[in-house]
Amino acid sequence: MAERLQKVMAQAGVASRRASEKLITDGRVTVNGKTSTELGTKVEPHDKIEVNGEPVEGNEKKVYFLLNKPREVVTTASDDKDRATVLDILKDVPQRVYPVGRLDYDTTGVLLLTNDGDLANQLMHPKYNIDKVYVAKVKGIPSNDDLKALRLGVTVHTVEKNRHKTYHAAPAKAEIVAVDRAKNTAIVRLTIHEGRYHQVKEMMKAVSHPVLKLTRERYGLLDVTDLAPGEYRELTYDEVQALKQGKQYRRSSGRL
């Protein structure tokens, strides 16, 4: 049965469907030796698909890895500035895995990598409301009014790819974890469900408390309390099934 090229690529774990579409329109995908740039292209199971000259294997085993992303590592497959990538850390993994969403170069914490395009699309889709919990060290000490604004949803003005953008961030859970009055800093925990560009940094800037340091503490039910920065592990079967079912929290025992 013929299926859209970007869907086949996502199912094979090449990238999310949206990222696969960009690979196609950028002319980086060939079908049976011919470059395909049309998003409506349909392929059959016997068709030979290549991305950047590498064959796409549709029957590759689905794998799922949890990484405690360190600082100064990018969450892309390659980098034009020759910086280290998360795939460099997982270089011993034989499957072609990709990160689910992104963390900034200087942001640490929970990052899921997989070749399961369907699950990646599910987790990144806003309608599933996956908790993304961040802990930020910020300049200044947010007031009750600042926290209220974050909980109601702040208006963000930002620049993305040299274009000015304005959007209203969805309401977030916001709480102060600790304060250092001598240094005039605070630790804030934010729980969001969106995944916009630099979102936590932009939200805190909108209430005049720029982020000094940022880590993602939890993604859905996943945390990295058992992993040092730069370490990773494969998810258990129960964890994968729980993610597919949309579960957000572990039981009090710490196990699913």
Q: Considering only CA atoms, which of 107, 111, 143, 120 is closest in space to residue 11?
A: 120
d(CA 55, CA 43): 14
Q: Which is catalytic among the residues 47, 104, 118, 131?
A: 104
Known catalytic residue at 131: no
Task: Please give the biggest Cα pair distance in the chain.
Answer: 66
d(CA 100, CA 78): 15
Cβ pair 152, 132 in contact under 8 A: no
Return contacts of 124-129, CB within 8 angstroms, 24+ apart. 124/16, 124/100, 124/195, 126/193, 126/194, 128/246, 129/193
Catalytic sites, residue numbers: 104
